[in-house]
Amino acid sequence: MEKNELYEEAKRLLEICRKLGAEHAQVMISGLYNVGTRFGENHITQNVGRKRLNIQIRTQLGQKIGNYAGSKLGENAEQELQNTMTLTKLSADDVEFPGFLQEQPRYPEMTDRYAEVEPEELSAVIGQIVETARGVDSRLETVAGNLNWMSNRTWLLNTHGLEAYNESSTLSGVINVAARENGESRSTLNYGSGSLATLPAEQKAREVAETAVRGLHPKEIDAGKYETILMPGAATALMNFVAFGSSSQGLVNHSSFLKDKLGEQIMDPRISIKDDTLNPDHLAARRFDSDGVPTPEITYIDNGVLKDYAYNLRNAKKLGVDSNGRNFTGFQGEMPMFFSPHVTTGSKDLDTIISEVDDGVVITNLFYNNFVNAPEGLCTGLTRDGLFRIEKGEITHSLKNMRWTDSILSIFGSAEPARDATQVKGFFFGSAITPPIRTDSFNFSSKGKH
């Protein structure tokens, strides 16, 4: 659907809510265009083209609230929204509901971009990736990955007159390469971009292929604490935990390891993180959140000091503060979070940082990371696709994977970012821009088997 068609549909749905008896209502409608291509063993295995609407409607009657989520409503809209109004009427008062925004905010400037690509264009890029990666070394046997184009046009309207519009197109992907010589070594690289033209596909393919070759013939190390360099993929994985910890949801649910730490020095003074929401290269770039609140850039870790949590209107009301526009709403509920972290770079380049490590490791990626106990920030996971030993300032050989179990605040308690940052597609949030980060101590709790 075009921008004006989406707008008219949102207006129609608001009018139906009013007609059905809602005092107020809010509609968020997104038109999605998606081409997602997946490849493995050097060929395309899945290829998906989707066009659909995503609609979220909230109806209000006093302090009673009902929600609708789903696909195109069409001629059934009145009947479906009648069910939502029934749910609204029969609900008890939700005294924590903050209401909808009653004034039109002034949204920050951001470059809009919307485009649609054809599946053949993504397939051609994948062909280049496979060919480039395999061409790096004769031991590179198989290439896997995916490439995903997502374009969205989104309107948020409410019956108080709020109107907000955002459009975006993003490209993100993964390349996984396997090298084999008396065993297998894989390497994985996640990346994102705003367009096909700026996608550094061949450069990334070469980079990941070279890492896979370097990973051949791994040796073992013992469990224990190691001085560690977290490459951008690994650092981003740990930023997920910081994102969860700094969500006000964790304050309300008593699950955050950053609860009651506002204003405290929680990380090394060399670490600063901002939520770079307005950078259109970020996969979650936006100028307003799902409450319609503007999303300014926020530095939430400033020289290691916790400066802010991510709020939505509901949690902000409950906690007695103003929302800073970080809400994300899905069918299962709301989750305010800093979705676009950008870690400030340091003064030294990566080679210099490596040269200063006498005995340590380099972690390319971390895998299946999870809280062991969220309120204390104790986490676990594994290295994946590229663990290397540093001896006397040089990377000497690859290592078998290790399980890590450590406290996030301990890892970043004495840590130094390198100079050059890379954008990495995230998992639970959009994407992160982060340099490699050296930490004095990273705890490996047991050995892996490969």
Partner 1 sequence: MEDVANQVFSTLGDKPGFQLAQIRFVAMREENLSYRNGLPFNCANLRESGTGVRVRVDNSWGFAATDSMERQDVIDTALRAFKVAKASAQVSRKPSVELAPEPIYKDSYSVRIDKDPFDIDIKDKMELLRDANQATRDASEHIRMAISNYRSRDTRVHFFSSEGSVIDQRLMFTGGSMQAVAISGAETQTRNLQNFKSRGWEAWEEFDPIATAATSGEEATILATKAEKCPSGKSTFILEPYQLGLTIHESCGHPSELDRVLGYEADFAGTSWLTPEKLNNLQYGNDKINITQNPAMEDVLGHFKYDDEGVQARSVPIVKNGIFVGYQSDREHAAMLGLDRSSGNSKSDGFDSVPIIRMNNMFLEADTSDEGFADIDALVEDTRDGIYGLQWKSHSIDDKRLNFQFATQIGYKIENGEITTPLKNVTYQAITPEFWGACSGLTRTSKIYGLPYCGKGSPNMQIGYVSHGGPWGRFEDVNVGITG
Nearest distance in Å: CB 355, partner 1? 29
CA distance 274 to 289: 17
Q: How remote is the C-alpha of 129 from its chain's centroid?
A: 24
Q: How remote is the C-alpha of 266 from its chain's centroid?
A: 22
Burial class (CB in 10 A: 0-12, 13-18, 19+), 331: exposed
Site for partner 1 in 223-282 (CB under 8 A): 252-255
CA angle 187, 207, 142 (to 5 degrees): 45
Instruction: Tell whether residue 69 is a contact of partner 1 (CB under 8 A).
Output: yes
* C-alpha count within 13 angstroms, C-beta hemisphere, residue 146: 13
Three-state SS for 94? coil
In the complex with partner 1, the residue whose CB is nearer, 165 or 367, is: 367
In the complex with partner 1, the residue whose CB is nearer, 4 or 79, is: 79
Among the listed residues 195, 152, 193, the one whose alpha carbon sits nearest the alpha carbon of residue 33: 152
Spell out, one character per residue from 117 to 156, where the chain touches partner 1: x when CB under 8 A holds, - when not.
-xxx-xxx-xx--x-----------x-xxxxx--------
Among 188, 193, 247, 398, binds partner 1 (CB under 8 A): 188
Going by their DSSP bridges, the two strands 415-417 and 402-407 should be labelled as unpaired
Nearest distance in Å: CB 372, partner 1? 5
In the complex with partner 1, the residue whose CB is nearer, 14 or 144, is: 144
CA distance 281 to 111: 10
Stretch that binds partner 1, among 2-10, 175-183, 193-201, 283-291 (CB under 8 A): 175-183
Nearest distance in Å: CB 346, partner 1? 25
Alpha helices in 246-333 (DSSP H): 248-252, 313-319
Among 186, 286, 342, 389, binds partner 1 (CB under 8 A): 186
Spell out, one character per residue from 311 to 340, where the chain touches partner 1: x when CB under 8 A holds, - when not.
--------------------xxxx------
Transcribe 60-91 into DSSP letters.
EETTEEEEEEES--GGGHHHHHHHHHHHHHHS
Nearest distance in Å: CB 64, partner 1? 8
Question: Is 37:122 a contact under the CB 8 Å cutoff?
Answer: yes
Instruction: Tell whether residue 42 is a contact of partner 1 (CB under 8 A).
Output: yes
Instruction: Tell whether residue 195 is a contact of partner 1 (CB under 8 A).
Output: no
Spell out, one character per residue from 91 to 110, where the chain touches partner 1: x when CB under 8 A holds, - when not.
xxxxxx--------------
In the complex with partner 1, the residue whose CB is nearer, 141 or 349, is: 141
Three-state SS for 420? coil
For residue 250 the two structure tokens come to 């964790």
Question: Is 136:174 a contact under the CB 8 Å cutoff?
Answer: no
Instruction: Tell whether residue 346 is a contact of partner 1 (CB under 8 A).
Output: no
Task: Kindly report the backbone phi and psi dihedral angles of residue 428, in degrees, each rounded to the nearest multiple of 5, phi listed first.
Answer: -85, -15
For residue 334 the two structure tokens come to 């709301």
In the complex with partner 1, the residue whose CB is nearer, 388 or 404, is: 404
CA distances 274 to 279, 309, 434, Å, are: 11, 12, 11
Which amino acid is residue 290, in one-letter code? S
Nearest distance in Å: CB 1, partner 1? 11
Among 367, 395, 414, 440, binds partner 1 (CB under 8 A): 367
Stretch that binds partner 1, among 9-17, 64-72, 277-285, 305-313 (CB under 8 A): 64-72
Instruction: Using CB under 8 A, count the residues that bind partner 1.
Output: 101
Nearest distance in Å: CB 147, partner 1? 7
Nearest distance in Å: CB 74, partner 1? 8
In the complex with partner 1, the residue whose CB is nearer, 86 or 347, is: 86
For residue 114 the two structure tokens come to 């919307």
Going by their DSSP bridges, the two strands 359-373 and 224-230 should be labelled as parallel
CA distance 278 to 286: 6
Structure-token match 């190691």, residue found: 226
Spell out, one character per residue from 369 to 408, where the chain touches partner 1: x when CB under 8 A holds, - when not.
xxxxx-x--x-xxx-xx---------------x-x-xxx-
Instruction: Tell whether residue 414 is a contact of partner 1 (CB under 8 A).
Output: no
Nearest distance in Å: CB 208, partner 1? 11
Nearest distance in Å: CB 318, partner 1? 10
Among 25, 29, 30, 36, binds partner 1 (CB under 8 A): 36
